[in-house]
Amino acid sequence: MATKTSPAARAGRNNTPGYRCAECGWTTAKWVGRCGECQAWGTVEETGQVLARTTAATAVTTPARRIADVDATLSGYQPTRIDELDRVLGGGLVPGAVILLAGEPGVGKSTLLLDVAARVARLGKNVLYVTGEESAAQVKLRADRIDAVADSLYLSAETDLGQALGQVEKVDPALLVVDSVQTLSSAAVDGSAGGVTQVREVAASLIGAAKARGMTTLLVGHVTKDGSIAGPRLLEHLVDVVCQFEGERHSRLRLLRAVKNRYGPTDEVGCFDLTDSGIEGLADPSGLFVSRTKDPVSGTCITVTLEGRRPLLAEVQALLAESPNSQPRRATSGLDSSRVAMLLAVLQSRASVSLHKDDSYVATVGGVRLTEPATDLAVALAIASAKTDQPLAARLVAFGEVGLAGEVRPVPGIGRRIQEAQRLGFTHAIVPASPAGTGPVPKGFSVREVSTLAEALALLF
Protein backbone atom coordinates (compact mmCIF):
# COMPACT_ATOMS: atom_id res chain seq x y z
CA MET A 1 0.00 0.00 0.00
CA ALA A 2 1.42 3.38 -1.02
CA THR A 3 1.99 5.93 1.70
CA LYS A 4 2.08 9.67 1.37
CA THR A 5 5.23 11.59 2.24
CA SER A 6 4.59 14.71 4.24
CA PRO A 7 6.14 18.04 3.25
CA ALA A 8 8.13 18.03 6.50
CA ALA A 9 9.57 14.62 5.66
CA ARG A 10 10.46 15.75 2.18
CA ALA A 11 12.13 18.85 3.63
CA GLY A 12 14.11 16.69 6.01
CA ARG A 13 15.13 14.45 3.11
CA ASN A 14 16.39 17.53 1.20
CA ASN A 15 18.46 18.59 4.22
CA THR A 16 20.44 15.37 4.57
CA PRO A 17 23.64 15.77 6.57
CA GLY A 18 26.79 16.50 4.61
CA TYR A 19 30.39 17.31 5.39
CA ARG A 20 32.53 20.33 4.51
CA CYS A 21 36.21 21.22 4.84
CA ALA A 22 36.79 24.13 7.20
CA GLU A 23 39.87 25.21 5.23
CA CYS A 24 38.79 25.33 1.58
CA GLY A 25 35.02 24.66 1.64
CA TRP A 26 35.13 21.31 -0.20
CA THR A 27 31.96 19.27 0.42
CA THR A 28 31.30 15.54 0.47
CA ALA A 29 28.38 13.26 1.27
CA LYS A 30 30.27 11.21 3.87
CA TRP A 31 32.93 11.95 6.42
CA VAL A 32 36.59 11.49 5.50
CA GLY A 33 39.68 12.21 7.53
CA ARG A 34 41.46 14.09 4.76
CA CYS A 35 40.08 16.83 2.51
CA GLY A 36 39.94 15.78 -1.10
CA GLU A 37 40.67 19.33 -2.34
CA CYS A 38 43.36 20.89 -0.10
CA GLN A 39 44.58 17.56 1.38
CA ALA A 40 44.35 18.90 4.96
CA TRP A 41 43.80 16.38 7.76
CA GLY A 42 41.03 16.70 10.36
CA THR A 43 39.29 19.69 8.77
CA VAL A 44 36.15 17.95 7.43
CA GLU A 45 33.15 18.79 9.65
CA GLU A 46 29.48 17.81 9.53
CA THR A 47 27.07 20.39 8.18
CA GLY A 48 23.62 20.54 6.66
CA GLN A 49 23.60 19.95 2.90
CA VAL A 50 20.71 21.61 1.08
CA LEU A 51 19.77 19.73 -2.07
CA ALA A 52 16.77 21.86 -3.10
CA ARG A 53 17.03 23.69 -6.40
CA THR A 54 15.29 26.81 -7.66
CA THR A 55 13.46 25.98 -10.90
CA ALA A 56 10.52 28.41 -10.90
CA ALA A 57 10.94 31.62 -12.87
CA THR A 58 10.29 34.96 -11.17
CA ALA A 59 9.41 38.39 -12.49
CA VAL A 60 12.32 40.23 -14.11
CA THR A 61 13.01 43.61 -12.50
CA THR A 62 15.93 44.67 -14.74
CA PRO A 63 15.53 43.52 -18.34
CA ALA A 64 18.57 42.34 -20.27
CA ARG A 65 20.14 44.82 -22.66
CA ARG A 66 22.03 44.39 -25.87
CA ILE A 67 25.75 44.54 -25.24
CA ALA A 68 26.10 47.38 -27.76
CA ASP A 69 23.76 49.50 -25.63
CA VAL A 70 25.79 49.15 -22.42
CA ASP A 71 27.72 52.32 -21.49
CA ALA A 72 31.29 51.19 -20.85
CA THR A 73 32.44 54.70 -19.87
CA LEU A 74 30.92 54.17 -16.44
CA SER A 75 33.70 51.68 -15.68
CA GLY A 76 36.66 53.73 -16.88
CA TYR A 77 40.02 53.58 -15.12
CA GLN A 78 40.69 56.10 -12.37
CA PRO A 79 44.46 56.44 -11.76
CA THR A 80 45.66 56.19 -8.17
CA ARG A 81 48.71 58.43 -8.80
CA ILE A 82 50.91 55.44 -7.85
CA ASP A 83 52.41 54.46 -11.19
CA GLU A 84 53.54 50.98 -10.16
CA LEU A 85 50.10 50.08 -8.80
CA ASP A 86 48.36 51.48 -11.89
CA ARG A 87 50.71 49.39 -14.06
CA VAL A 88 49.63 46.17 -12.34
CA LEU A 89 45.92 47.03 -12.29
CA GLY A 90 45.95 47.92 -15.98
CA GLY A 91 45.47 51.67 -15.62
CA GLY A 92 43.95 52.32 -12.20
CA LEU A 93 40.87 51.63 -10.12
CA VAL A 94 37.58 50.70 -11.79
CA PRO A 95 34.29 51.82 -10.16
CA GLY A 96 32.53 48.84 -8.63
CA ALA A 97 35.60 46.61 -8.83
CA VAL A 98 36.58 44.44 -5.87
CA ILE A 99 40.34 43.94 -5.46
CA LEU A 100 41.87 41.38 -3.12
CA LEU A 101 45.43 42.12 -1.95
CA ALA A 102 47.15 39.23 -0.19
CA GLY A 103 50.60 38.92 1.33
CA GLU A 104 52.61 37.81 4.32
CA PRO A 105 52.48 39.75 7.61
CA GLY A 106 54.69 42.83 7.59
CA VAL A 107 55.14 42.97 3.83
CA GLY A 108 53.44 46.39 3.61
CA LYS A 109 49.83 45.71 2.55
CA SER A 110 48.23 48.12 5.01
CA THR A 111 50.83 50.80 4.31
CA LEU A 112 50.24 50.64 0.57
CA LEU A 113 46.44 50.71 0.82
CA LEU A 114 46.48 53.57 3.34
CA ASP A 115 48.60 55.56 0.88
CA VAL A 116 46.14 54.74 -1.92
CA ALA A 117 43.19 55.79 0.27
CA ALA A 118 44.82 59.13 1.09
CA ARG A 119 45.63 59.87 -2.57
CA VAL A 120 42.05 59.16 -3.65
CA ALA A 121 40.69 61.24 -0.76
CA ARG A 122 42.84 64.22 -1.83
CA LEU A 123 40.92 64.20 -5.13
CA GLY A 124 37.83 65.27 -3.18
CA LYS A 125 36.20 61.82 -2.94
CA ASN A 126 34.99 60.18 0.26
CA VAL A 127 37.09 57.18 1.29
CA LEU A 128 36.25 54.76 4.11
CA TYR A 129 39.02 52.71 5.73
CA VAL A 130 37.59 49.88 7.86
CA THR A 131 40.19 48.25 10.09
CA GLY A 132 39.50 45.10 12.07
CA GLU A 133 43.07 44.45 13.17
CA GLU A 134 44.04 47.84 14.59
CA SER A 135 42.37 50.70 16.39
CA ALA A 136 41.69 53.99 14.64
CA ALA A 137 44.46 55.63 16.69
CA GLN A 138 47.02 53.07 15.49
CA VAL A 139 46.04 53.67 11.86
CA LYS A 140 46.31 57.43 12.46
CA LEU A 141 49.88 56.98 13.71
CA ARG A 142 50.81 55.19 10.49
CA ALA A 143 49.04 57.84 8.44
CA ASP A 144 51.08 60.58 10.15
CA ARG A 145 54.31 58.68 9.48
CA ILE A 146 53.68 58.19 5.75
CA ASP A 147 51.87 61.52 5.22
CA ALA A 148 48.52 59.92 4.41
CA VAL A 149 46.15 62.32 6.19
CA ALA A 150 43.27 63.76 4.15
CA ASP A 151 40.05 65.54 5.08
CA SER A 152 37.71 63.13 3.28
CA LEU A 153 39.41 59.96 4.56
CA TYR A 154 37.28 58.29 7.24
CA LEU A 155 38.46 55.59 9.67
CA SER A 156 36.28 52.96 11.30
CA ALA A 157 37.48 50.21 13.64
CA GLU A 158 34.81 47.53 13.15
CA THR A 159 34.71 43.75 13.20
CA ASP A 160 30.96 43.38 12.68
CA LEU A 161 29.80 43.21 9.06
CA GLY A 162 26.48 44.92 9.77
CA GLN A 163 28.22 47.86 11.43
CA ALA A 164 30.68 48.13 8.54
CA LEU A 165 27.85 48.21 5.98
CA GLY A 166 26.15 50.85 8.13
CA GLN A 167 29.28 52.99 7.93
CA VAL A 168 29.21 52.57 4.15
CA GLU A 169 25.62 53.85 4.05
CA LYS A 170 26.53 56.84 6.20
CA VAL A 171 29.80 57.90 4.52
CA ASP A 172 28.84 56.94 0.92
CA PRO A 173 32.48 56.38 -0.11
CA ALA A 174 33.84 56.14 -3.62
CA LEU A 175 36.56 53.82 -2.26
CA LEU A 176 36.24 51.28 0.55
CA VAL A 177 39.29 49.63 2.15
CA VAL A 178 38.73 46.62 4.41
CA ASP A 179 41.73 45.48 6.48
CA SER A 180 41.22 42.59 6.59
CA VAL A 181 38.36 40.49 5.19
CA GLN A 182 39.18 37.67 7.65
CA THR A 183 38.51 39.90 10.68
CA LEU A 184 34.91 40.79 9.79
CA SER A 185 32.06 38.52 10.84
CA SER A 186 28.30 38.46 10.39
CA ALA A 187 25.93 37.86 13.31
CA ALA A 188 23.50 36.11 10.94
CA VAL A 189 25.98 33.31 10.16
CA ASP A 190 27.43 30.73 12.51
CA GLY A 191 31.17 30.35 12.92
CA SER A 192 34.08 32.49 14.05
CA ALA A 193 35.66 35.30 12.03
CA GLY A 194 38.01 33.97 9.36
CA GLY A 195 36.13 30.68 8.95
CA VAL A 196 34.92 29.43 5.61
CA THR A 197 31.27 30.34 6.19
CA GLN A 198 32.04 33.78 7.59
CA VAL A 199 34.54 34.72 4.84
CA ARG A 200 32.04 33.62 2.19
CA GLU A 201 29.24 35.71 3.72
CA VAL A 202 31.43 38.78 4.31
CA ALA A 203 32.84 38.68 0.78
CA ALA A 204 29.43 38.22 -0.84
CA SER A 205 27.93 41.12 1.14
CA LEU A 206 30.80 43.51 0.39
CA ILE A 207 30.83 42.56 -3.30
CA GLY A 208 27.06 43.10 -3.51
CA ALA A 209 27.40 46.55 -1.94
CA ALA A 210 30.30 47.46 -4.25
CA LYS A 211 28.41 46.50 -7.41
CA ALA A 212 25.18 48.20 -6.34
CA ARG A 213 26.87 51.49 -5.40
CA GLY A 214 29.66 51.57 -8.01
CA MET A 215 32.11 51.65 -5.10
CA THR A 216 35.67 50.41 -5.62
CA THR A 217 36.58 48.02 -2.79
CA LEU A 218 40.06 46.97 -1.68
CA LEU A 219 40.19 43.87 0.53
CA VAL A 220 43.25 42.77 2.49
CA GLY A 221 43.61 38.99 2.66
CA HIS A 222 45.71 36.77 4.89
CA VAL A 223 47.90 33.98 3.56
CA THR A 224 48.61 30.49 4.89
CA LYS A 225 51.99 28.98 5.69
CA ASP A 226 52.48 27.83 2.10
CA GLY A 227 51.73 31.32 0.72
CA SER A 228 48.20 30.67 -0.62
CA ILE A 229 45.29 32.96 0.28
CA ALA A 230 43.53 31.89 3.47
CA GLY A 231 39.85 31.00 3.40
CA PRO A 232 37.69 29.36 0.75
CA ARG A 233 38.82 29.32 -2.85
CA LEU A 234 35.46 30.88 -3.64
CA LEU A 235 36.83 34.21 -2.39
CA GLU A 236 39.28 34.42 -5.30
CA HIS A 237 36.53 33.51 -7.77
CA LEU A 238 34.15 36.21 -6.51
CA VAL A 239 36.50 39.20 -6.61
CA ASP A 240 37.54 40.95 -9.82
CA VAL A 241 41.28 41.29 -9.16
CA VAL A 242 43.63 39.18 -7.04
CA CYS A 243 47.05 40.66 -6.28
CA GLN A 244 49.97 39.12 -4.42
CA PHE A 245 52.33 41.39 -2.48
CA GLU A 246 55.71 39.70 -2.10
CA GLY A 247 59.02 40.57 -0.51
CA GLU A 248 61.91 39.12 1.44
CA ARG A 249 61.94 40.00 5.13
CA HIS A 250 65.50 41.40 4.97
CA SER A 251 65.05 43.28 1.71
CA ARG A 252 63.44 46.65 1.00
CA LEU A 253 62.13 45.52 -2.37
CA ARG A 254 58.44 44.59 -2.66
CA LEU A 255 56.85 43.08 -5.77
CA LEU A 256 53.17 43.35 -6.61
CA ARG A 257 51.76 40.77 -9.04
CA ALA A 258 48.27 40.39 -10.46
CA VAL A 259 47.25 36.73 -10.25
CA LYS A 260 43.79 37.46 -11.65
CA ASN A 261 42.61 40.63 -13.37
CA ARG A 262 39.30 41.06 -15.19
CA TYR A 263 40.25 44.56 -16.33
CA GLY A 264 43.87 44.25 -17.40
CA PRO A 265 46.93 42.04 -17.89
CA THR A 266 48.18 39.47 -15.40
CA ASP A 267 51.84 39.50 -16.44
CA GLU A 268 52.77 42.97 -15.16
CA VAL A 269 54.85 43.43 -12.00
CA GLY A 270 55.03 46.52 -9.82
CA CYS A 271 58.16 47.27 -7.78
CA PHE A 272 58.08 49.16 -4.49
CA ASP A 273 60.66 50.32 -1.96
CA LEU A 274 59.61 49.95 1.69
CA THR A 275 61.23 52.67 3.80
CA ASP A 276 60.68 54.24 7.22
CA SER A 277 58.60 57.00 5.64
CA GLY A 278 56.28 54.63 3.77
CA ILE A 279 56.26 52.73 0.54
CA GLU A 280 57.30 54.22 -2.80
CA GLY A 281 57.11 52.97 -6.36
CA LEU A 282 60.36 52.07 -8.09
CA ALA A 283 60.35 52.87 -11.78
CA ASP A 284 63.95 51.58 -12.10
CA PRO A 285 64.68 48.95 -9.41
CA SER A 286 67.73 47.45 -11.15
CA GLY A 287 70.08 49.62 -9.10
CA LEU A 288 69.17 47.65 -5.97
CA PHE A 289 70.48 44.40 -7.48
CA VAL A 290 73.75 45.54 -9.07
CA SER A 291 76.82 46.44 -7.01
CA ARG A 292 78.78 49.54 -7.89
CA THR A 293 82.53 48.88 -8.17
CA LYS A 294 85.16 50.82 -10.13
CA ASP A 295 87.14 47.78 -11.29
CA PRO A 296 85.75 44.41 -12.47
CA VAL A 297 85.89 41.65 -9.86
CA SER A 298 86.25 37.95 -10.63
CA GLY A 299 83.26 35.76 -9.80
CA THR A 300 80.56 38.27 -10.76
CA CYS A 301 78.23 38.42 -13.75
CA ILE A 302 75.25 40.63 -14.60
CA THR A 303 72.09 39.01 -15.98
CA VAL A 304 68.70 40.26 -17.15
CA THR A 305 65.64 38.48 -15.76
CA LEU A 306 62.00 38.97 -16.70
CA GLU A 307 59.43 39.59 -13.97
CA GLY A 308 56.24 39.24 -15.98
CA ARG A 309 56.93 41.47 -18.96
CA ARG A 310 59.35 43.66 -17.05
CA PRO A 311 63.13 43.19 -17.51
CA LEU A 312 65.27 43.63 -14.40
CA LEU A 313 69.07 43.59 -14.12
CA ALA A 314 70.56 41.51 -11.33
CA GLU A 315 74.06 40.52 -10.32
CA VAL A 316 75.19 36.98 -9.52
CA GLN A 317 78.31 36.49 -7.38
CA ALA A 318 80.29 33.29 -6.90
CA LEU A 319 83.17 32.42 -4.57
CA LEU A 320 85.21 29.20 -4.68
CA ALA A 321 87.56 28.03 -1.92
CA GLU A 322 89.53 24.82 -1.60
CA SER A 323 87.60 22.47 0.64
CA PRO A 324 89.29 20.77 3.60
CA ASN A 325 86.60 18.07 3.57
CA SER A 326 86.12 15.12 1.26
CA GLN A 327 82.68 16.46 0.29
CA PRO A 328 82.74 20.16 -0.71
CA ARG A 329 80.12 22.51 0.62
CA ARG A 330 77.49 24.02 -1.71
CA ALA A 331 75.83 27.18 -0.38
CA THR A 332 73.39 29.45 -2.22
CA SER A 333 71.44 32.63 -1.45
CA GLY A 334 68.71 33.98 -3.70
CA LEU A 335 69.03 31.06 -6.14
CA ASP A 336 67.62 27.56 -6.39
CA SER A 337 70.20 25.29 -4.71
CA SER A 338 69.34 22.28 -6.88
CA ARG A 339 69.69 24.43 -10.03
CA VAL A 340 73.12 25.66 -8.93
CA ALA A 341 74.22 22.07 -8.14
CA MET A 342 73.18 21.07 -11.65
CA LEU A 343 75.20 23.91 -13.19
CA LEU A 344 78.27 22.88 -11.18
CA ALA A 345 77.94 19.36 -12.59
CA VAL A 346 77.49 20.66 -16.15
CA LEU A 347 80.55 22.89 -15.82
CA GLN A 348 82.67 19.98 -14.66
CA SER A 349 81.37 17.36 -17.10
CA ARG A 350 80.70 19.42 -20.25
CA ALA A 351 83.16 22.32 -19.95
CA SER A 352 86.11 20.64 -18.15
CA VAL A 353 86.02 23.03 -15.19
CA SER A 354 87.29 21.12 -12.15
CA LEU A 355 85.10 21.92 -9.15
CA HIS A 356 85.00 18.69 -7.14
CA LYS A 357 87.55 19.92 -4.57
CA ASP A 358 86.14 23.42 -4.03
CA ASP A 359 83.54 24.79 -1.67
CA SER A 360 81.16 26.94 -3.72
CA TYR A 361 79.19 29.95 -2.53
CA VAL A 362 76.77 31.51 -5.02
CA ALA A 363 74.49 34.45 -4.18
CA THR A 364 72.58 37.39 -5.63
CA VAL A 365 72.99 41.07 -4.74
CA GLY A 366 70.32 43.05 -2.90
CA GLY A 367 68.31 40.09 -1.63
CA VAL A 368 66.55 39.46 -4.95
CA ARG A 369 65.50 35.86 -5.65
CA LEU A 370 66.13 34.61 -9.19
CA THR A 371 64.05 31.61 -10.25
CA GLU A 372 63.99 32.05 -14.01
CA PRO A 373 66.05 29.47 -15.97
CA ALA A 374 67.36 32.33 -18.14
CA THR A 375 69.81 33.18 -15.34
CA ASP A 376 71.65 29.85 -15.75
CA LEU A 377 74.30 31.22 -18.12
CA ALA A 378 75.17 34.12 -15.81
CA VAL A 379 75.51 31.74 -12.84
CA ALA A 380 77.78 29.40 -14.81
CA LEU A 381 79.96 32.27 -16.06
CA ALA A 382 80.28 33.70 -12.54
CA ILE A 383 81.44 30.31 -11.22
CA ALA A 384 83.93 29.90 -14.08
CA SER A 385 85.23 33.42 -13.48
CA ALA A 386 85.74 32.65 -9.80
CA LYS A 387 87.55 29.42 -10.69
CA THR A 388 89.98 31.06 -13.13
CA ASP A 389 90.22 34.27 -11.06
CA GLN A 390 89.60 36.25 -14.23
CA PRO A 391 86.96 39.01 -14.14
CA LEU A 392 84.48 39.22 -16.97
CA ALA A 393 84.51 42.19 -19.31
CA ALA A 394 83.06 45.39 -17.96
CA ARG A 395 79.52 46.35 -19.08
CA LEU A 396 78.72 42.75 -20.05
CA VAL A 397 75.41 40.95 -19.47
CA ALA A 398 74.64 37.29 -20.06
CA PHE A 399 71.43 35.27 -20.05
CA GLY A 400 70.28 31.89 -21.32
CA GLU A 401 69.09 28.52 -20.08
CA VAL A 402 71.73 25.82 -19.71
CA GLY A 403 70.76 22.18 -20.28
CA LEU A 404 72.35 19.00 -18.94
CA ALA A 405 74.06 18.42 -22.30
CA GLY A 406 75.83 21.75 -21.97
CA GLU A 407 73.69 23.49 -24.59
CA VAL A 408 72.48 27.06 -24.16
CA ARG A 409 68.77 27.23 -24.95
CA PRO A 410 66.79 30.25 -26.19
CA VAL A 411 64.72 32.24 -23.69
CA PRO A 412 61.75 34.57 -24.28
CA GLY A 413 62.10 38.33 -24.51
CA ILE A 414 65.68 38.52 -25.81
CA GLY A 415 64.99 41.87 -27.47
CA ARG A 416 63.47 43.41 -24.32
CA ARG A 417 66.41 42.22 -22.23
CA ILE A 418 68.92 43.75 -24.64
CA GLN A 419 67.04 47.05 -24.73
CA GLU A 420 67.02 47.23 -20.92
CA ALA A 421 70.74 46.43 -20.70
CA GLN A 422 71.56 49.12 -23.26
CA ARG A 423 69.38 51.65 -21.41
CA LEU A 424 71.38 51.13 -18.22
CA GLY A 425 74.74 51.62 -19.91
CA PHE A 426 75.83 48.08 -20.82
CA THR A 427 77.48 47.56 -24.20
CA HIS A 428 77.98 43.78 -24.59
CA ALA A 429 75.72 40.74 -24.24
CA ILE A 430 76.14 36.99 -24.54
CA VAL A 431 72.84 35.44 -25.52
CA PRO A 432 71.64 32.01 -26.71
CA ALA A 433 71.48 31.38 -30.43
CA SER A 434 67.84 31.54 -31.48
CA PRO A 435 66.19 30.65 -34.80
CA ALA A 436 64.10 33.80 -34.48
CA GLY A 437 67.19 35.94 -33.92
CA THR A 438 67.72 38.64 -31.33
CA GLY A 439 65.67 41.30 -33.08
CA PRO A 440 66.89 44.87 -33.59
CA VAL A 441 70.12 45.59 -31.71
CA PRO A 442 70.69 49.14 -30.40
CA LYS A 443 73.45 51.15 -32.02
CA GLY A 444 76.80 50.65 -30.31
CA PHE A 445 75.69 47.45 -28.60
CA SER A 446 77.52 44.16 -29.31
CA VAL A 447 75.66 40.84 -29.15
CA ARG A 448 77.39 37.45 -29.34
CA GLU A 449 75.27 34.33 -29.77
CA VAL A 450 76.45 31.01 -28.31
CA SER A 451 75.06 27.50 -28.66
CA THR A 452 76.93 25.74 -25.85
CA LEU A 453 78.38 26.60 -22.48
CA ALA A 454 81.85 25.60 -23.66
CA GLU A 455 81.56 28.07 -26.53
CA ALA A 456 80.66 30.87 -24.10
CA LEU A 457 83.62 30.06 -21.87
CA ALA A 458 86.01 29.95 -24.81
CA LEU A 459 84.71 33.34 -25.94
CA LEU A 460 85.30 34.97 -22.57
CA PHE A 461 88.43 33.25 -21.26
Binding positions: 103-110
Q: How far apart are CA 397 and CA 419, in angstroms?
A: 12
H or E segment and range at residue 177: strand 175-179
Strands 27-28 and 17-21: antiparallel
Q: How far apart are CA 154 and CA 150, in angstroms?
A: 9
Q: Which residue positions form the known binding site for ATP?
A: 103-110
End-to-end CA distance of the chain: 97
CA 458 to chain centre: 39
Q: How far apart are CA 218 and CA 63, in angstroms?
A: 30
H or E segment and range at residue 333: strand 330-333
Q: How far apart are CA 196 and CA 177, in angstroms?
A: 21
**Within 13 Å of residue 239, how many CA atoms lie on the same side as its CB?**
29
SS3 159: coil
Q: How far apart are CA 243 and CA 144, in angstroms?
A: 26
Q: How far apart are CA 461 and CA 447, in angstroms?
A: 17
Strands 330-333 and 358-364: parallel
- Please answer whether residues 75 and 94 qualify as being in contact, where contact means their C-beta atoms are separated by less than 8 angstroms: yes
- Which residues fall within 8 angstroms of residue 416, CB to CB, at 6 or more apart? 306, 309, 311
Of 42, 16, 13, 41, nearest to 30 (Cα)? Answer: 16
Q: How far apart are CA 184 and CA 130, in angstroms?
A: 10
